[in-house]
Structure 1
């Protein structure tokens, strides 16, 4: 299994178990503040640890090891961050100051071979854009994620201690980080419903410690945002996921994420993260049980050179509506016949109904926004009888319940035709090669 497959959310389980994050702080080098007193603070899984103070050195040795543990589901663990900050502690004559920090999500560590980084130099960045964009020093670390009762691997013997070639980077062929500008064009959302009234909503983009949001669109289930969120950061980003969230006021309505490994290629002839315009379909934050709506957006990434005087925070800029080519929609009519159901739980004793939906079609009927009001997505009441003391079956005779739905969906047939043709060509070439 490839590292990219290891972080596929569809393969993760909700089962909670105890995970350990181990962080070894080894040494610092080339701190921009000469002969400083320094302390390293490590934050993970809601806990905080710190090293002892090393005095009067811009190349200090720490050699301290910390362990953070928590009982948590794997997909929740991968969404957490490890934050490492180098500070100059306060004294009688000065306040505490932050030299620099780095942060990465646990999914980045998990995607590495054996879920660990060994003897890697992390670039320390300024805590704010106003304090500069370049490196403020380097910190050598070991990072590991393991389950309880599993021993971490031993660090390999290091032939050299040079920074170049040993930078803390995601699993890729990129040898160094550079400044980049991530442009998220948020066009619109669809099928957002809040009980009995149209919601007021906004979109939040979050990754790598950055967070920015659109303005609020009030009282609509089909909001038009047409705004560009610009985030400045280093690339490769020390995270695997771009989180896309929809809020109703201050309440999280739906969340999904875009894996960076799906929208970029870091090979020698690869490309920077790029996506869409396309729809991202959102589901209930507790799982994949309920469709919550869709959001149309795109992502473009550009390398940039930012001088010390030209630093910008995250920006939100108005843009024109999407003019990108989207697939045409086609109206599909679905007919669903219920033949039988058995082994029903005893709590269904009495009468039951069957309900079917695709996306938010049932809610569209309820709110009167469906294009076709003749759909019958709920059956009439049907008797339930007892099989034994613990299970029941529905009494369906010759006349079967028929449910209908009319849904306008994107027409993917042309893509499927092209895919089928390419697969046929591939199979023919393989067969020709075998025969010859």
Structure 2
């Protein structure tokens, strides 16, 4: 469970459109985007009066031998409302309460687990730094940020204790599973090959919120909750903040940022929404097996990303004026050599065969290659040697020795390695929490 960064940004300014999948694009910066200009300081968000709802002050639940009181639940609900800007209504208050109660149960379990590790102590200085970072994101001072929370009825101790647990849990998960989250070079290279193969397909820059049915009380409850969240985001709640607090997807810690998604790699219902949504549009709830999605379409591209390929070649000269017999002889000669060729030996073999020329073509944009080479560059597997290719200069064998995405948006090796490691840690952390919850004695009063 990553630390949730609290923001109090301006809303997703949009109206529901007639399509079953979208609402019209916002006229200003979208809350679902990563544009820092979409976020404002708490002081600019208006009055922070505490919502009107009452909870008994007695014990609400017990988690093993730890209690959760009505006061605890009210504080967590207020914090949830303040950080997401979801306006409490008669319709959505039960969902807010359930989400707050789930979060408190997990916090009690995390505190209990953290207590087993005496060396893992979160200092006040670490909490102060987290509050300072959150205040910087909101373009205000730490004192003003805490004051904003207090005006909404949230005690500073409530915020600090939640942060203490979240920081400690993050450190525990990172330390416990560090060795299991290591990413091999083969994994990174496979991911890079998949990205390169997908570069020619349509892609979608997506924000996602996923409500898991079993977590919120069933599929109908998930659908009703998603409808309420969509309505709240249309009215002003920032997409990123809502995703951090309500989404069950691994992307929740990143504000729902799913990055670029390739056409055909998601469930059919989501693909239909991807195709119909335009940049800046928010979907209506999309039911899938096990839960409900809300999609924010941040951007689209048509799959024209630059693809770079590294190639080597050998050839037998045969100009356009060469007779069919000469071309056939050249083809036969290269075909006889092809079976034993690799990227490592192809140029060496060229020097040992009379009439055969070899050259390293280096790395080039596929679009800049000769038309006869482009098909091989795009489709051949890395490490393979093509069948003979005829050009106006002669007959060639092409070895495809490497392929990667190019251009300023292309992820680096380190980017992909970090992303894979974060995904693995998040998965292990969720599994850890599921195991703790399964073994716990949880009673509701």
TM class by shorter chain equals under 0.3
For CA contacts below 8 A with separation 6 or more, give which structure has more relative contact order: 2
Rg comparison, structure with higher value: 2
TM-score (ref. length: structure 1): 0.24
Higher helix proportion: 2
